Structure 1
Amino acid sequence: MPKVLVQGTAVAALGLALAGCSSITNHRGYINDEVLIASVQPGLDNQQSVRGTLGKPTLVSQFGDPVWYYVSSRTEQAPFRQPTIQQHTVLAVQFDEAGNVVSTDRSGMEQVVRISPDGDETPTLGRERGFLQDLFGNIGTVGTGAPAGRGPGGP
């Protein structure tokens, strides 16, 4: 009987260890409900009915025709790693000047752009100086602004 108990404990410990290595799934933004999205019809709905059906938009266009954007993302994060986007959708509801729905468009992962930064430093204009130049670069230049004998403490 003790052998079965030890094996059971080992299996339970292994299960807990593997559970600690599982990915974390996180949802960000608007929660898509296909029934509600399908109920928004161009020509029938207006801004008030869309707000009542879908809720407050994630983003509203600032220029051009009024467009409301509903953004949704699902990310996964493995232990000790950065989160990665697994699913991304954007619902764009376009309105006319009177506030009536003109069209609804959906886009997904094909519109997501991966950006890889160019290192840990921002390039700047100017001289490139090394550590020793920074440390000893001002030797001999201190006090050269005033002519000899005319500075503070001079005759």
Structure 2
Amino acid sequence: MPKIAASLSGPRARLVLAGLIVAMTVSGCSQVRGRQGYVVDTVLTDAITPGVDNRESVERTLGRPTFVGQFSDNEYFYLARETRQLAFANPRPVAQMALRIRFDPAGNVVAVDRTGLDQVSKISPEGDKTPTLGRERSFFEDIFGNIGAVGAPGTGGPPQ
């Protein structure tokens, strides 16, 4: 037993221990890839042609849409997003596709619109406070500020 304890206390043991710590730290920093929504096949999405395809051919080619238009069923939406995440950081979008297919009342494709990552907005909240317009009041002004401003208590309105 004394030989084992002696072999773990030298500079070589410190190097091995440091290597293990670095390996465990680096393995936790790997990138996580995520996909959400429709799995895009560019050959199939490019095959949808206005004036040629109809609602049934679109569903056979691309499958059921991610969602149908809110106000009428003459629009199909196919949404796809790919994200990457480093360790415990928030995921960030790497690729995105929004495909909108519009139909006429007869069910024929009228237009095919595509948007990508250029439509993604980054929203940065202001902080813990919501900025408001108007006066800045203290805690006690908020609590006691309306005393006497409306009228006598119990009368239901301003004094006559």
Which category of TM-score, normalised to the shorter sequence, fits these structures?
0.5 to 0.7
Q: Output the amino acid matched with 1:97.
A: P
Decide whether the 8 Å contact of 1:65 with 1:96 is kept in 2.
no
Cα 1:74/1:135, change in 2 over 3 Å: same
Decide whether the 8 Å contact of 1:88 with 1:108 is kept in 2.
yes
Give the C-alpha shift of residue 134 in structure 1. 5.8
Cα 1:11/1:123, change in 2 over 3 Å: closer
Q: Which 10-residue stretch deviates more, 117-126 or 3-12?
A: 3-12
1:25 correspondence with 2:33: yes
Aligned residue for 1:91, secondary structure, equals strand
| Count of residues paired in the alignment | 144
- Which 5+ residue runs of structure 1 have no aligned equivalent? 139-143, 147-155
Q: Output the amino acid matched with 1:29.
A: G
Identity of aligned residues (%): 43
What residue number does 1:151 align with? none
Q: TM-score, normalized by length of structure 1? A: 0.68
What residue number does 1:59 align with? 67
Aligned residue for 2:44, secondary structure, equals helix
Cα 1:124/1:11, change in 2 over 3 Å: closer
Question: What does the per-residue CA deviation read over 1:68-106, in whole Å, with 9 as the maximum and x for residues that have no partner?
Answer: 111111111222322211111111212112111123222
- Which 5+ residue runs of structure 2 have no aligned equivalent? 1-10, 147-151, 155-160
Cα 1:122/1:14, change in 2 over 3 Å: closer
